[in-house]
Amino acid sequence: MRFLLLALLLISSNALATCIERGCYNVYVERLYINASGTVYVGTSGDETLMSCAAVSNIYSTFKTTDAGADMIFSALLAAQMADKKVSVRTDDNSAGCTIRYVTIDKQ
């Protein structure tokens, strides 16, 4: 019985990870890619093609290192990636590059 409950819990927690029109929720940070011009590309375990914005290469949400709060957003994403924690990433609707507005990390 315990095994069945554990299996159901694991299946249901994975089912909650998704991308929707306004971002990706309950996902892992799979890749952080920073180029020399100051753009940060964020790839998650979600399907970024489901968002209403244009993800770069259908994979990445982005933000500029010059954006307000960029250093804190980057720090949060990097910490989540290093700790293997799930995050939620909120993006601007219909933005080119799926511009990240904020991220959240919940206790897991």
Q: Among residues 6, 25, 3, 7, which one has the least CA distance to residue 16?
A: 25
Residue 17: its pLDDT value, please?
Answer: 77
Identify the CATH number of the domain in which residue 68 sits.
Answer: 2.40.50.70
Q: What pTM, to 2 d.p., does this model score?
A: 0.83
Q: What is the pLDDT of residue 12?
A: 43
Mean pLDDT by 10 residues, the chain (108 residues): 40 67 97 96 97 96 96 98 97 94 94
Distances (CA, A) of 82 to 32, 44, 69, 75: 11, 13, 20, 10
| Count of domains forming the chain | 1
Q: Domain residues for 65?
A: 18-104
